[in-house]
Amino acid sequence: MKTVGFVGWRGMVGSVLLDRMASEGDFTGCEPVFFSTSQVGQPGPTVGGRESAPLRDANDARALAETDIVVTCQGGDYTRSVHGALRESGWDGYWIDAASALRMNEASVIVLDPVNRRVIDEALDAGTRDFIGGNCTVSLMLMGLQGLFDRGWVEWMTCMTYQSASGAGARHMTELVRQMGELGGCYAPGRTALELERQVTARMANGALPTEHFGVPLAASLIPWIGGAMDNGQTREEWKAANEANKILGTDRFVPIDGQCVRVGAMRCHSQALTVKLTADVPLADIESAIAGANDWVEVLPNDHEATCQQLTPAAVSGHLRVPVGRVRKTTFGPDYLTCFTVGDQLLWGAAEPLRRTLLILLGRL
């Protein structure tokens, strides 16, 4: 049985990953070894009903090299400090990583198997050893619109995102809820809407809200900037859309994708408004059936008020693997311009699920 080392399993993505593995019975198919950067020697977790051995040192390349596969959700700094040394030591096991550090390396594949199983299988045949989870918005967009890319119908696309606090990290989620709590205190029976608004705006302006992590209030507001600045005016998050999507798909023709990435006060679901320049005037019914049939998780919703409000929101999708695509219609720009809206769980298909499934592929179970 293959030995799988887990690093960063206590963090948010790591916890979701372990929960998914436990609920799917995945631990029966491997020998898990748990690593830690800070609590070496302490008891390991109980997974799949089995107690694990004491935690090993995640910074010890020799200990990592005893595993067949390493799965890390520890973050980019850890990857940068450990991966190179581990490879230089001669370890030729598989490295599965949630962080972006190695994503664009030629030697790595970005994994999203419902979309790019062919790319993954070819890479395995070619001896690739590094398998990296994609950016969450990119993965969720591709899970939604795979059907259009598979048919070569996307000439170019804009992605306008509404990204949840979870994408920024666990502490940001906590901060958002604390901000909401502070603003909730503005309510008093009998206050008019304008009085409430003045109270809320005053609390946001006078430093009453915790902003250590976001830097500014997110509750009752939004932040139209995600990631570092690029020289071309994009943020790094915006740059990833085209560059990661094309790498995941293994496209022959680079499909331009660009847009604005915005942080909103959702907890763990990223939403995206997409406008697609189609390569032809494809009938809407064909578009909907191509989208709906592309994978087992995407769902096309009718473009009506009821379905949209009940099923196409972060509230409806949180904690679920389904990826609804709704508001699908041709735009008024012309018959070869499509618009739609999609929502996906940032911690499931956006982060943990592609890693879990890559592990299953490497274990020969998928």
| Active site (catalytic) residues | 136, 270
SS3 state of residue 151: coil
State which residue, 225 or 337, has the beta carbon closest to ligand HSE.
225
Q: How far is the CB of 247 from ligand HSE (least distance, A)?
A: 15
Stretch that binds ligand HSE, among 49-57, 76-84, 151-159, 160-168 (CB under 6 A): 160-168
CB of 241 to ligand HSE, least distance (A): 11
**Rounded to the nearest whole angstrom, what is the least distance from the CB of residue 137 to ligand HSE in the complex?**
6
Q: Does position 259 bind ligand HSE by CB under 6 A? A: no
Q: Are strands 269-278 and 154-163 parallel, antiparallel or unpaired?
A: antiparallel
Closest Cα to residue 323, out of 114, 178, 125? 114
Residues in the interface with ligand HSE (CB under 6 A) total 7
How far apart, in whole angstroms, are the C-alpha atoms of residue 143 and residue 320?
13
Using the rule CB under 6 A, which residue among 7, 18, 168, 176 binds ligand HSE? 168
Q: How far apart are CA 65 and CA 3, in angstroms?
A: 10
Nearer of residues 26 and 237 to ligand HSE, judged by Cβ? 237
Shortest separation between residue 62's beta carbon and ligand HSE, angstroms: 31
Site string for ligand HSE, 131-150 (x = CB under 6 A): ----xx--------------
CB 97 within 8 A of CB 133: yes
Choice between 203 and 263, CB closer to ligand HSE: 263
> At its nearest, how many Å lie between ligand HSE and the CB of residue 103?
10
Residue 237 found at the interface with ligand HSE (CB under 6 A): yes
Indicate the residue among 36 and 271 with the shorter CB distance to ligand HSE: 271
Among left, alpha and beta (phi > 0; psi -120 to 50; other), residue 127 is: left
Distance CA 104, CA 342 (A): 25
Nearer Cβ to ligand HSE, position 239 or 337?
239
Residue facing ligand HSE at closest CB distance = 167
Torsional sign, CA 7, 122, 20, 261:
positive
Q: Are strands 154-163 and 257-258 parallel, antiparallel or unpaired?
A: parallel
CB nearer ligand HSE, residue 266 or residue 338: 266
User: Which parts of the chain fold into alpha helices (H)?
Assistant: 12-23, 61-64, 76-88, 113-125, 136-150, 170-184, 193-205, 236-249, 284-292, 305-311, 314-317, 353-362
Of 281-310, which residues contact ligand HSE (CB under 6 A)?
none
Is the CB of residue 143 less than 8 Å from the CB of residue 324? no
CA 154, distance to chain mean position in Å, is 22
* DSSP of 8-31: STTSHHHHHHHHHHHHTTGGGGSE
Interface residue with ligand HSE, options 102, 226, 264, 340 (CB under 6 A): 226
Q: Is 74 in the site for ligand HSE (CB under 6 A)?
A: no
Helical axes 136-150 vs 284-292, angle rounded to 10° = 120
Among 67, 79, 146, 163, binds ligand HSE (CB under 6 A): 163
Binding site for ligand HSE (CB under 6 A): 135-136, 163, 167-168, 226, 237
